[in-house]
Amino acid sequence: MRRYFGRKILIYLLTFFLAVTIDWLIPRFMPGNPVQNMLSRVAVHPEAVEAMRGYFTRAFGLDVPVWQQYLNFWAALFHGDLGVSVYMFPQRVADIILRAVPYDVALLLPAILLSWLAGNKFGAYAARTKWLDNTVLPLGYTLTATPYMWLGIVLAWVFGIVLDVFPFAGAYSYDLSPHLSWRFVGDVLHHWFLPFASLFLVQFGGWAIGMRNMIIYELEADYSHYLEALGAPRNLIRNYAFRNALLPQLSGLALQLGVIVAGALVTEVVFSYPGIGYLLLAAIQNQDYFLIQGCFLFIIVFVLLANFAIDIIYVLVDPRTRRGMTGETA
């Protein structure tokens, strides 16, 4: 088990190192000069431009040798200093991101967990049950093939505009300010529902299909046939198959995290939901390089931590990894 975790942690550390390096490299070595881009947006006096160039060069830390820029980047990172936003000057990037995080957690956590649980249950029922299989399977394939933003757009259009039962923009009504009251909480939930639903539905389809296919594989396995030959009840065999099929679904969740996060980004854009995705889009449109870097780093760290959490859960549910027997698929 120690070896298993040792390897995992090494990979995560290397990934983090690589991600930070990419994050640092890209603005420096891509065509186009970020400082120049920013200056060209503010047409002012030539002297002012020079002064601003000096300021931005220092602000980006571009006035020292490259190797030192890199070390400085790391040092600042460990101090939690992600720089100052250009587009929301003079707020600090770290503060802006921390303000957006609760919305992401509120959206992603329930959507991921509920869709995984519900999708697996549903898929397991559907496998080798003719009429359910014939309805769930096409529905599941359609849902999992749906681009996140399109489902978001369609839900916003149908429920937000045509039926007018759910709001489709923002995290709460504009005439309310955040405070603790039933009215506000209800309003937040009301705004939360559509983005949550579109994230939930797309993932639900994927898990249902994955589980359905897994169960069919498991029901063809030797142990299932053996149990069948012994005359074990159908439900018992299916229970065993379900538990075995859950393990690949769990590693599947780890693999899907990146896609899910990407889906959340565009869903937030569709619904103007003030999470990291919405922030990242604003940062890109305003060429706010510090904010882009910060969002990227935050997403990477979130995905790495979630992956690690899934690894721990995997060890808890699969005794083979604990005993140091191979069985490690993730």
Partner 1 sequence: MKKGKRSEFLFFAFRNNKLRVGLSIVLFFLVVAIVGPFLTDNEPLKYVNPGGAEPPSAEYWLGTTTFGQDVFSQFVHGLRATFLVGALGGGIGTLLGVVIGFTAGYRGGLVDEALNMLTNIVLVIPTLAVLLIISAYLEVRGIVMESVFIGCTAWPWAARAIRAQTFSLRSRDFVDLARLSGKRSWKIILTEIAPNMMSYLLLVFILQFGGATLNAATLDFIGLGPTSGISLGLMMNYAVLWGALLLGIWWWFVPPGLAITAIVGALYVTNVGLDEVFNPKLREM
The alpha carbon of residue 239 and the mean position of all alpha carbons in its chain are separated, in whole angstroms, by: 31
**Residue written as tokens 């590693």?**
251
Least Å distance, CB 241 to partner 1, is: 14
110 or 160, CB closer to partner 1?
160
Contact residues toward partner 1 (CB under 8 A) are 11-12, 14-15, 18-19, 22-23, 26-27, 30-32, 34, 138, 141-142, 144-151, 153-154, 156-157, 160-162, 168, 209, 213, 216-217, 220, 255, 257-259, 261-263, 265-266, 269-270, 280-281, 284-285, 292, 296, 299-300, 303-304, 307
| C-alpha distance from residue 178 to each of 174, 187, 191, 318 (Å) | 10, 10, 13, 44
Q: Cis (ω within 30 of 0) for the bond into 90? A: yes
17 or 50, CB closer to partner 1?
17
Least Å distance, CB 14 to partner 1, is: 6
End-to-end CA distance of the chain: 13
Name residue 164's amino acid. D
Closest-CA residue to 97 (of 256, 14, 105, 149): 105
172 or 205, CB closer to partner 1?
205
76 or 154, CB closer to partner 1?
154
16 or 193, CB closer to partner 1?
16
Name residue 328's amino acid. E
Least Å distance, CB 174 to partner 1, is: 16
Least Å distance, CB 183 to partner 1, is: 26
4 or 186, CB closer to partner 1?
4
Least Å distance, CB 56 to partner 1, is: 16
Least Å distance, CB 305 to partner 1, is: 11
Contact in structure between 310 and 254 (CB atoms under 8 Å): yes
Closest-CA residue to 107 (of 197, 168, 201, 205): 197
22 or 117, CB closer to partner 1?
22
188 or 276, CB closer to partner 1?
276
| Contacts of 57 by beta carbon, 8 Å cutoff, 6+ apart | 35, 63
Least Å distance, CB 222 to partner 1, is: 12
Please tell me the distance from the alpha carbon of residue 240 to that of residue 198, in angstroms, as a whole number: 32
Least Å distance, CB 158 to partner 1, is: 9
Please tell me the distance from the alpha carbon of residue 288 to that of residue 85, in angstroms, as a whole number: 7
| C-alpha distance from residue 83 to each of 252, 279, 289 (Å) | 36, 16, 10
* Angle value at C-alpha 195, between 190 and 201, nearest 5 degrees: 120
